[in-house]
Amino acid sequence: MSQMQLILAILLIFSFLAQNSLGLSPVIFIPGDGGSQLEAKLNKTNVVHYICEKTTDKYYNIWLNLELLVPFVIDCWVDNVRLEYDNVTRTTTSPPGVDIAVPGWGNPEPVEWLDPSHESAGAYFNTIGDALVKMGYVRNISLRGAPYDFRKAPNENGEFFVKLKTLVEETYTMNNKSAVTLLVHSMGGLMGLHFLRLQTQAWKDQYIRRMISLSTPWGGAMKALKVFAIGDDLGSRMLSESTLRAEQITCPSLAWLLPSPNFWKPSEVLVQTDKFNYTINDLQKLFTDMEVPNAWEMRKDTEKYSRDFSAPGVELHCLYGLNVSTVERLVYKPGTWLDGRPALQPGDGDGTVNLRSLRACEHWRRPPGWFSRSYPVKPLPLPGAEHLKILHDPRVLDYLTTVLAIP
């Protein structure tokens, strides 16, 4: 038998095991910030530009829809996707006349492809999904998806955690009571971590086989602070950072992703100006000086989730990139204070998340001789693995198919 024939034979065995739920752990994808499709339905009385639609008969794809992310039309998109914060109820809502929905619960397709037309720019979990299908996984049976409104943090995503528990139990039952693997990316790792903290240990021991994390910002990221300061152009030369910032700074999830005091010291300067050097203890002053006071309110709403750094209570595989230039500090030129664009002082990370945050999972590893019950934590640093590209990295695919072949 040739090597290729041997590989094919093994894959056929894996396929048989998966379809009969005798070997492979079913997988649920939990996406990160921007990692779920969003749909919108409009019934507005006012718009920001005459080219913007006021009403729609049905829901339409608003994320990711490249046709909406072009000059002028982007103003309509920003006004529809932004959130309005109420500091009395401590919640956010869409603008009047805008209804945002998250399609495809349980289905992996809306998190494999952010653009329903499957344009390459919208590719997300698709490469991993295809690799798992080759192993014998079956979409909507042993391969599921858990999309959510990524603009919001756990305090406004309570329904998601309830639905996710049901999805885990349903997937477990559909696959002959095989414990589930949570495969998470970026902020999805934080959502998965919070979900696991909500469950009893007995429930996790029965229903969760492991969590595999890709690029999770366990301790937040300086990039979130950079977005509050100047926005992010999503890697497009056609889009303005400042235009997108108008939507981005309304998202509580962005405040949740700010650097955590667990991993940034009070002495470290995050934003440097000639008038004041801001540390993690000066965020309220910083947001006041930036004239974005709601950012501080949203930070207060979400800070408890980042301060809690208790272990997930399941086997954890923690994959992350390093040796990629990542913003470590914002430095404003003398005389500009918080006006203009700061220089982005680089440090180590995956291009989005700082290394100290990516490798924070290693704090949950227990030394030899640890007597209390603990669960394995298996970190895998990957030099050069960029935050999003890690989802298509051959090293990650090899690791996943190897780990998931283990019952």
Marked catalytic residue, from 36, 178, 186, 215: 186
Distance of CA 235 to the CA centre of its chain: 17
Whose CA is closest to 194, among 223, 230, 165, 225?
165
- Provide the pLDDT for residue 407: 79
Give, as one character, the DSSP assignment of residue 52. Answer: S
- Provide the pLDDT for residue 18: 41
Marked catalytic residue, from 185, 194, 317, 387: 387
Decide the pairing of beta strands 271-272 and 326-331: parallel
- Provide the pLDDT for residue 234: 83
Name the token pair of 149: 């409104």
Name the token pair of 351: 């291009």
Verify whether residue 393 is a known catalytic residue.
no
- Provide the pLDDT for residue 1: 52
Q: Are 325 and 351 in contact (CB under 8 A)?
A: yes
Whose CA is closest to 29, among 102, 126, 116?
126
- Provide the pLDDT for residue 368: 52
- Angle between helices 222-230 and 241-248 in degrees, nearest 10: 110
Marked catalytic residue, from 33, 301, 350, 393: 350
Q: How many CB atoms lie within 10 A of CB 299?
A: 19
- Integer Cα distance of 216 and 360 in angstroms: 9
Name the token pair of 305: 């989730």
- Integer Cα distance of 188 and 35 in angstroms: 9
Show the low-confidence residues of the chain (pLDDT under 70). 1-22, 367-373
For the chain, list the domains and their CATH numbers: 23-404 (3.40.50.1820)
pLDDT tens sequence across 278-324: 999 999 999 999 999 999 999 999 999 988 899 999 999 999 999 99
Return all residues near 407 (Cβ < 8 A) that are at least 6 apart.
23, 24, 25
Return all residues near 47 (Cβ < 8 A) that are at least 6 apart.
53, 54, 76, 79
- Integer Cα distance of 254 and 151 in angstroms: 8
Verify whether residue 350 is a known catalytic residue.
yes
pLDDT tens sequence across 155-178: 999 999 999 999 999 999 999 999
- Integer Cα distance of 287 and 212 in angstroms: 35
